[in-house]
């Protein structure tokens, strides 16, 4: 049995604020640390979303509010991971990460994990000083998950 991507993420985000939320009929698992770094895992296996980047921009404020964002008081640094089947045909996502800090919910990285083709794609923007290590850990975890999925080791 293949270990879930969530269980890998639980390992690296241990001792963080964790929450399950429902937005637009999708179950979303979210972690948040004390530096306002938010990581959201969204399973698209049963959805028909075509433009993942556009969808990420549409839901980032909803996720932010669920995780404690309050206007004018704090900025959330959002990393979103989408997992599903046949996501390799998703449109170019580099245009959907935020290029400037809007002092609200800033979408700093999008990661796509295609379970069927066992591939991933990531895009990052500025702000690596605060979030670079989290983005790097996310990519390591995704690679480990896909490697084990290919080998069916766990």
Q: What is the pLDDT of residues 43-66, one digit of tens each?
A: 888 888 889 999 999 999 999 998
- What pLDDT score does 130 carry? 66
Look up the domain containing 89 and give its range. Answer: 5-151
**In sequence order, what are the residues at sequence separation of 6 or more whose Cβ sits closer than 8 angstroms to the Cβ of residue 100?**
none
> Which of 131, 148, 151 is CA-nearest to residue 38?
131
What is the four-CA torsion angle of 43, 53, 67, 34, rounded to 10 degrees? Answer: 100
The token pair at 1 is 């049995």
User: How far from the centroid of its chain's Cα atoms is residue 59's Cα?
Assistant: 12
Q: How would residue 25 be classed by pLDDT, with cut points 50, 70 and 90?
A: confident
- Residue in this structure with the two tokens 């404690």, named with its chain if needed: 68
Would the pLDDT of 2 be above 60?
A: no
For 86-139, how does the pLDDT look when each residue is reduced to its tens digit (9 = 90+)? 887 667 899 999 988 878 899 999 999 999 899 999 999 876 666 778 888 889
Residue 154: per-residue pLDDT: 46
Number of domains in the chain: 1
């Amino acid at each position: 049995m293949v270990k879930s991507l969530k269980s890998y993420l639980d390992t690296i985000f241990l001792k963080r604020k964790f929450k399950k939320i429902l937005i637009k009929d999708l179950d979303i698992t979210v972690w948040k640390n004390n530096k306002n770094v938010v990581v959201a895992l969204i399973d698209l296996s049963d959805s028909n979303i075509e433009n993942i980047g556009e969808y990420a921009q549409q839901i980032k404020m909803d996720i932010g509010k669920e995780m404690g964002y309050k206007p004018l008081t704090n900025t959330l640094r959002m990393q979103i991971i989408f997992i599903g089947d046949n996501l390799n045909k998703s449109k170019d996502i580099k245009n959907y990460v935020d290029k400037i800090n809007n002092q609200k919910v800033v979408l700093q990285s999008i990661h796509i994990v295609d379970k069927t083709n066992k591939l991933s794609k990531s895009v990052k923007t500025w702000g690596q000083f605060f979030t670079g290590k989290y983005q790097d850990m996310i990519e390591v975890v995704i690679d480990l998950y896909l490697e084990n999925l290919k080998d069916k080791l766990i």
